[in-house]
Amino acid sequence: MFIIVLTCVLVIRLKISKRASSSSSSSGNFRKTGGSVKHGTSNVYDQRAQERVLEKEASQISETGLKILQGQAFPLGVSEVNSGINFAIFSQHATAVTLCLSLPKRGNLEGLDGGMIELALDPRVNKTGDIWHICIEDLPRSNVLYGYRVDGPRSWGQGHRFDGNIVLIDPYAKLIEGRRYFGDAKYKLTKFLGTYDFDSLPFDWGNNYKRPNIPEKDLVVYEMNVRAFTADESSGLDPDIRGSYLCLIKKIPHLLELGINAVELLPVFEFDEFEFQRRPNPRDHMVNTWGYSTINFFSPMSRYASGGGGPLKASREFKEMVKALHGAGIEVILDVVYNHTNEADDENSYTTSFRGIDNKVYYMVDGNGQLLNFSGCGNTLNCNHPVVMELILDSLRHWVVEYHVDGFRFDLASVLCRGADGSPLNAPPLIRAISKDAVLSRCKIIAEPWDCGGLYLVGRFPNWDRWAEWNGKYRDDIRRFIKGDPGMKGSLATRVSGSADFYRVNKRKPYHSINFIIAHDGFTLYDLVSYNCKHNDANGENGNDGCNDNLSWNCGFEGETDDGNIKALRSRQMKNFHLALMISQGTPMMLMGDEYGHTRYGNNNSYGHDTAINNFQWGELEKRKNSHFRFFAEAIKFRQSHRVFARENFLSENDVTWHEDNWDNYDSKFLAFTLHDNNGADIYLAFNAHDFFVKASLPSPPPNRRWFRVVDTNLKSPDDFVHEGNLIPSNFEFPTFFFMDALLFSLTGTKMLQHPLPLHSNSTKFSIFASAFSHHLAPSSAHDMGLKISERASSSSSLGNFRKTGGSVKYGTSNVYDQRAQERVLEEEASQISETGLKILQGQAFPLGVSEVDSGINFAIFSQHATAVTLCLSLPKRGNLEGLDGGMIELALDPRVNKTGDIWHICIEDLPRGNVLYGYRVDGPRSRGQGHQFDGSIVLIDPYAKLIEGRRYFGDAKYKLTKFLGTYDFDSLPFDWGNNYKLPNIPEKDLVVYEMNVRAFTADESSGLDPDIRGSYLGVIKKIPHLLELGINAVELLPVFEFDEFEFQRCPNPRDHMVNTWGYSTINFFAPMSRYASGGGGPLKASREFKEMVKALHGVGIEVILDVVYNHTNEAAYENSYTTSFRGIDNKVYYKVDGYGQLLNFSGCGNTLNCNHPVVMELILDSLRHWVVEYHVDGFRFNLASVLCRGADGSPLNAPPLIREITKDAVLSRCKIIAEPWDCGGLYLVGRFPNWDRWAEWNGKYRDDIRRFIRGDPGMKGSLATRVSGSADLYRVNKRKPHHSINFIVSHDGFTLYDLVSYNCKHNDENGENGNDGCNDNFSWNCGFEGETDDGNIKALRSRQMKNFHLALMISQGTPMMLMGDEYGHTRYGNNNSYGHDTAINNFQWGQLEKRKNSHFRFFAEAIKFRHSHRVFARENFLSKVNLLHLCVTLLMQNDVTWHEDNWDNNDSKFLAFTLHDNNGADIYLAFNAHDFFVKASLPSPPPKRLWYRVVDTNLMPPDDFVHEGVPGCGSIYDIAPYSSILLAAKS
């Protein structure tokens, strides 16, 4: 096999550095054979000279015995590549990076050499952007330790903390080696280093393995510490496995007996348990047991391996643990710490990795370079920096893909919502990215929604309807009620009902509330009822650590006691807490050890004790197995067998009855309610937190049912919990009241029968009676079904439409809850603009745009800097939906009610479901110097509008000043794609792309179509037979997003005669161009017909790729402003502006979209997904895509967030994504576009080099070889393929193919820009006369040149793209920038096609057909290299190409011949002659038993110029005409 490799490519056995790479004319390891070329002077290409240079550079440190290569920038971390082991690390500010290696002894992999090999990286060779990289060819595939020394500026005031003396851990290390045994004090100062393993076989998950995939509403979570669970001797396990992943497997039967189905593991990322003991300090006796001090985000804690097995064993045993838990139906959720690291603050610094690699990037620092501390641990990770965000996302994906974990709980997750300066972000990029990520989308994601900087976001955490939250308000309110605080009854009802006051927003559900009473930090459940105050003296912080307000009650004595009454009360209280937790709507979470009553002796912050304080006491469990444990397990079992406790949705008024007429009684500490089941199996519950008896009458049970007592927390085991219930005898005289003196938590909305029985004085009891075993919940606040409630009207104590029944409570003073008073307030707010006849509601912030919700039509728009937003509506006439009222209704949004964060929203109850026009007036600061461009007089288009209404007919000058507005349609039925419809899914290597303009394709009268469908989506359908005859299988459509063709004619200017035909001036990113509908049908018809077009194209196997413009909009520069949307909504957010508020212009069109701003990025991603999901398009070509790689100030980004998100997105992952890798600001990224091995590129270098060779430029032979071979010099990087090069010679902007061979200069006078527009250097040649001519020789030469170009395109490795009209020789008469001509200049001329159908068109179609039928032109991989020991052409299995060339260095040579080899012997010989004289080429011998057949000779007249089946008799020498090409096929 053979390969062409040019600049900076690492050839398989050659060690090539960037500095050694040759120009684009060098052609790599070319094999010479008998085929030779005779012309001019012959100079032999000195391949060995090149190899000697490369070998010299590759042995720069040969004294180490290692062979060093340049390496590659991606992926970060350590990776195995063809050429060896690659190392890559990011550091933006470093000036020097050294790779440090500790190798295994050659004869013994168990021993490690004492010294380290240090390899200094040369930034000229080993650096790409901010990524330092190196590759080592013969490094062992495992058991190597590595780290980095990183040096740079020592300026602490600028945030740097470089120290080249420290060997640092690679942030992307997948395994970490350190000490082998947890808590081994002999090695407390051990250094941690990265390691890797490419030797081991993949872990065997087993053929029958599957993930549990438990619905979130059904989870019962058990928070636990892997080590502490089994570290105690009482576990009865072998000492070698105690505290390990394997030991947890041994205790799975306990978890199953308890009944939980998910474990939430305290941190299992690598951490250093001795971090407090590295220097003298008050905590130097502590051993970090909890693990909230991460060293590395990818590696499992190595000292949780059994028997000191180290990191590789830890990795394998972690997987064994996950597999075993999954096998038992238990999910694995990891508690992850991305808010800070182990490296502490400057005063107590412990530099191991991030701090020394690039402190200023990885951590938040203030203007003085000091660390910001929102984590309470000395540093705060800079989570929303693109590099750090990518690190976190890669880490999360690694744990899902490699270790099969089911979800994550994010410690101090509010930190993840802060920007670089610590300020809160409305739409944090990291949170959004986690929500949308393709890999993470199926995971459970849980936030701890607060941090140590006061950002408390319970119920308000940015969630995208995906994130659950630790509900701290649940914890506090339940604790307060059960310990007997007054005024908590309403709060209890709210919390047990699912905390609808927090979570009944958008599409959130009750299970998004993670309900807990106890967690790892704080008191255990036993300590909560045994201590009033924390007792943290053992922590060494003088009692200053841990929370002071625990909302606890010691039941009458602080700490341990022998008093039987106190112990009984404590036991009852723990049961009350656990029962309240298990009957609450939401997801319950309990703490390891609470099932037997574990104590930490009042220590509420025991993170540093590797003792019995934290360790699970298996002996204590056994003592309480039939009492305390039994109750806890029965309660979990009862929850799981009664789905009424785990509803999908919030409680409705029919789900719960509250037996309460004292909601306003502050002193009331009793609550009773019934949860209703559809089948009558109701559940009654009652909680009494008084210190006296309460007489409670029971409601009547459902018909034909009787009450069974299930729970009475005042009874002794086993009577305290009888799962099947104790039947009350039918002849039993049911008393009017039972007496209950229990400390209970007021629960709302659970369908469980709870019956209060007599209790002893000051006892606490919770009783449950059940008539059947299913449950329903009621709403916990005024957010009830059927009520339109503003946020201001809701409160934690209001309980909504609660149904009262015969069950009542008698004690104290009774005040009736006035539900109608609440409803009246809400109704008053809801009739804000009753004079319009519309009913107005608060609305919701998501989704942006217009959406249909239960309560009406919701409108939501983002504007960060606006001070006033008004929704403008134009409604259809009531009797006639075709007519629109002249005036507009204007609804001013109240920021106190209709604003959430930076999103303004409103909902209208009875608005029509279609045919409504809408827009917004947006006002705000008029300070242009700060980048604002608000103007409240303009009605603006919603950026998220899915349909746009404007003029109906393209180019209708009568309506050139028509206003564009959004509209919507919720009336129409979904489009019918058909039962047999499927996407073509053509492999990228097999594509032949046809760039075309929807309108111009059929707008001309010569199309023969009805005038009503000319230039429409339907017109394209009519011409599909032409596309099939030509042979293409993908169309790349010039922009079809809504644009204004009359944008140049809105004010007098030199271009006011122009009609925008190309469409590169987007008004809106979601709406299909409405004037491409047939017959002036408007936006809804345009949407439907666009789908018809896609369906028809897909039906014949043609893919649809859209040319999309996300680099700028139609709104131009300030001096020519045309404000329609983004500028007036929030100019400073949507566009890049400089420090003076002036627009930056990298697009050449006056403005530049601020693509990597989180809000704009989300807009773009939502738009792309919309086109894939709604319209079924197959891919996108991104216009001026380099703009998408720039930050807010225009500077290039190494890892642009938008590019990465497009690459990784779940919806977009199947699409073709193509970059035009340059912009108008000089950011030329051909071959260097950030790609994640996914992006293809328009290869501008291919275009230029092919043009230059074919027109006869000297010195271009090597470049031709490089380009037709797939441009390996540009794309043979990482996992990129030849098809990532989109090969083209002409495209929409520039000359057509005919004009390329007919004009030397552009002729753009008609464009109105004095010839200043369009490219000046087109690499064109007019063949001897400028423009049209009757000279037959010139016309023949032009025809030949067009065929040469097309043949070169179709035989090149990569993806070919041709321009609409080139198949017949379309001319624009030398205009190379014809964007503004809705005339024959752009329109496809069907008459010309017919004239040339059997000549020019035939050749083009035959060439495409030949490419499709010969896979040798569309290889999956780059051409393989020659076996230099065998030059015989018969060795076909080893070679893809033979270059018949001995004149690579001859600058005057304009001839190239080569053979492409086929495994079956069906070789192809090609020769291109760009000389102005004949060249006699000796042909190579064909493969055995084959002869050469002439398929193509561009010098011949049709049909002889292309004979698909071939013409025999080529002989041994072929005389190739000037400016001609030939193709021969070896046939038997």
Active-site residues: which are they?
411, 448
Instruction: Please calculate the CA angle 1495-1509-1393 and round it to the nearest 5 degrees.
Output: 75
* Pairing, β 721-727 against β 708-712: antiparallel
DSSP codes joined into one string, 366-432: -TTSPBP-SSSSS--B-TTSHHHHHHHHHHHHHHHHTT---EEEETTGGGGGB-TTS-B-SS-HHHH
Q: Distances in Å between the alpha carbon of 188 and those of 145, 147, 284, 285?
A: 19, 19, 11, 12
* 172: CB partners within 8 A, 6+ apart: 75, 76, 77, 78, 88, 89, 298, 391, 394
Q: What does the alpha-carbon distance between residue 631 and residue 644 come to, in Å, rounded to a whole number? A: 20
* 1328: CB partners within 8 A, 6+ apart: 1335, 1338, 1341
Token output for 266:
């305290």
Contact 505, 757 (CB under 8 A): no
Q: Which of 183, 213, 137, 168 is nearest to 286 (CA)?
A: 183
* Element of type H or E holding 481: helix 472-483
Q: Distances in Å between the alpha carbon of 1480 and those of 269, 1492, 1497?
A: 69, 16, 14
Token output for 857:
């039509």
Give me the residue label for tokens 């390899």: 119
Q: What does the alpha-carbon distance between residue 1391 and residue 1396 come to, in Å, rounded to a whole number? A: 9
Q: Which of 1298, 1338, 1337, 1296 is nearest to 1318 (CA)?
A: 1296
Q: Long-range CB contacts (< 8 A, 24+ apart) of 555-558? A: 555/529, 555/530, 558/530, 558/531, 558/532, 558/533, 558/602
Residue 102 CA, chain-centre distance (Å), reads 37
How many alpha carbons fall within 13 Å on the CB side of residue 1049?
Answer: 16
End-to-end Cα separation, the chain, in angstroms:
23
DSSP codes joined into one string, 935-970: -TTS-B--TT-SEEE--SSTT-GGGTTPPPEEEEES
Token output for 795:
């409160």
Q: Distances in Å between the alpha carbon of 1184 and those of 1225, 1230, 1293, 1351, 1405?
A: 10, 12, 12, 28, 30
Contact 1016, 1007 (CB under 8 A): no
DSSP codes joined into one string, 607-656: TT--STTTS--HHHHHHTTTTHHHHHHHHHHHHHH-GGGS-SSPPPTTTE
Token output for 127:
């650096």
Q: Which of 1219, 1115, 1108 is nearest to 1172 (CA)?
A: 1108
Q: What does the alpha-carbon distance between residue 789 and residue 842 come to, in Å, rounded to a whole number? A: 7
Q: What does the alpha-carbon distance between residue 1136 and residue 1146 come to, in Å, rounded to a whole number? A: 9
Amino acid at site 1234: P
Q: Which of 865, 828, 901, 803 is nearest to 505 (CA)?
A: 901
In three-state form (DSSP H/G/I as H, E/B as E, the rest C), the secondary structure along 1030-1069 is: HCCCEEEECCCECECCCHHHCCCCCCCCCCCCCCCCECCC
Q: What does the alpha-carbon distance between residue 1301 and residue 1055 come to, in Å, rounded to a whole number? A: 28
Q: What is the DSSP letter of 194?
A: E
- Residue 265 φ then ψ, to 5°: -85, 125
Token output for 254:
């306990």
- Residue 216 φ then ψ, to 5°: -60, -35
